[in-house]
Chains A and B, each alone.
Chain A
Amino acid sequence: MLDSPLDPLLALGIIAVAWTSLSSRNLFTGVILFIVFGLLMSLAWVRLDAPDIALAEAAIGAGITGALLLDALGQIGSDGRERRRPPHLRWGAAAVGIAVAGLLTHAFTDLPRDAGGMTGAVAAALPESGVSHAVTAVLLNFRSYDTWLEVAVLLVAVIGVLSLRRGVGLSGPEPSGAADDPMLPGMARVLLPVMVLVGGYLLWRGTHAPGGAFQGGAVLGSAGVLLLLAGDRPFARLPGALFRGALMAGLAGFGLAALGLLASGRGFLALPPEHAGAIILAVEITVTLSIALTLTALFAGARQPDGTAAPDGSAGSHRP
């Protein structure tokens, strides 16, 4: 099980960083340690032979979530409003946490060793799936219904965030021209083409090696976040209908594939082996587009409309 001296160090490091992140008084320290935790988790996934999850964890867990948390922190201040909860609530929560941890440990140790799980069955069905990478085959063919619903969850999340802006658009205030620092826009100009290339590459690579729609979409979403941080206002140029259509594209792509297959008599999301590869690629492209735009919209939507911090929700009243 432990075939490298690095593994126990990594495990201890993960626990130590998680504990320090949760227990630090300063919220900024906690957020930075959370980003480090995401990076260490991604290494752990690599050590567990799950490179797809490692890529997703690095891009989403450490990258986008870190950016969202730091942006939120910038609006509430690092001392935060820490409400001390009554002791019986805290002890109750600790008891529930310990009970769940105990249950999980029992379930984990109870698993039969070397049972192989579904690996054999997936490998046997892989030639008919249209792709040559087992993870993509499971995500987009054998269990595509689950992936479709995950895309729906993302759409619900972005609808929620956008609804909380009380009808205010996503583009921030007109730039005053005072922020002329060329460094961040200059870096963005160099990095954005690279990020688009990497995102597209990860999407294409998912058919035969670790990669896929979520990883590619996360990298493209990070590119969108970088664009926003560099002071650009991409949503000001994007027509509203196109924006909403692109957010829906992933869900719609999946839905069209499902209903089309149903109508042609094959069954709901039952991909025929001779066209499966093409259908999977088409659906993955729409899903990547949706995920990228969703993540960028989540970041943009979390910012206050008038660009200043208003932790008690009075931002609406400042709006000119």
Chain B
Amino acid sequence: MSALDWVTVTLLCGGGFFFLAGTLGLLRFPDAHARLHALTKADNLGLGLVVLGLVLQAPGPAVAAKLILTWLLALLASATSCYLIAGVSRGRREDASAPRDA
């Protein structure tokens, strides 16, 4: 295993740690907004570190570019869905707490 391989393994383990932390947050945090925060950490940093580790092993710039594009697309999707879910969850909370007139 070369030095590059060791760097890749370290980065993959780091990414794995963030995925673990995100899953733990999903299971243990009290409300939807905190859980969303944990999940997007997993997508952002976790996937980012994994992709960075794999980029170091990529056979060429084309493959590396595709890996980074995958990360950017996942980032876009997770940010938008986090926003939409948070909006729905906030709407539900407001419906629950606001007084309704008939």
Contacts and interface: CB of A to CB of B under 8 A. Distances in A.
A181 interface: yes
A265 to B, nearest CB: 45
Interface string B9-27: 0000000000000000000
Contacts of B87: 181
B65 interface: no
Contacts of B83: 183
B: interface residue count bin: under 10
B84 A184 contact: yes
A191 B84 contact: no
For the residues of B in contact with A, the DSSP-based class is: helix
A99 interface: no
Nearest to B80: A187
B7 interface: no
Contacts of A190: 76
B73 A183 contact: no
B76 A183 contact: no
B18 to A, nearest CB: 20
A181 B88 CA distance: 12
A194 B76 CA distance: 12
Contacts, number: 13
Interface in B14-59: none
Contacts of A191: 73, 76
A191 B77 CA distance: 9
Interface string B77-100: 100100110010000000000000
Residue among A181, A184, A187, A190 with max Cβ neighbours from chain B (10 Å): A187
B58 to A, nearest CB: 18
A217 to B, nearest CB: 20
Nearest to A195: B73
A184 B73 contact: no
A191 B87 CA distance: 21
Nearest to A188: B80
A184 B81 CA distance: 9
A194 B84 contact: no
Interface in A180-214: 181, 183-184, 187, 190-191, 194
A191 B80 CA distance: 12
Contacts of B77: 187
Contacts of B84: 183-184
B45 to A, nearest CB: 21
A187 B78 CA distance: 11
A187 B82 CA distance: 13
B26 to A, nearest CB: 12
B5 to A, nearest CB: 18
B46 to A, nearest CB: 17
A184 B76 CA distance: 11
A189 to B, nearest CB: 11
B90 to A, nearest CB: 13
Contacts of A181: 87
A190 B69 CA distance: 13
Contacts of A187: 76-77, 80
A72 to B, nearest CB: 18
Contacts of A184: 80, 84
A284 to B, nearest CB: 23
B76 to A, nearest CB: 6
What are the 8 A-B residue pairs with the smallest beta carbon separation, nearest first?
A187-B80, A183-B83, A183-B80, A187-B76, A190-B76, A184-B80, A183-B84, A184-B84
Given A187-B77, A187-B80, 9 more contacts: A181-B87, A183-B80, A183-B83, A183-B84, A184-B84, A190-B76, A191-B73, A191-B76, A194-B73
Interface of B: 73, 76-77, 80, 83-84, 87
13 contacts: A181-B87, A183-B80, A183-B83, A183-B84, A184-B80, A184-B84, A187-B76, A187-B77, A187-B80, A190-B76, A191-B73, A191-B76, A194-B73
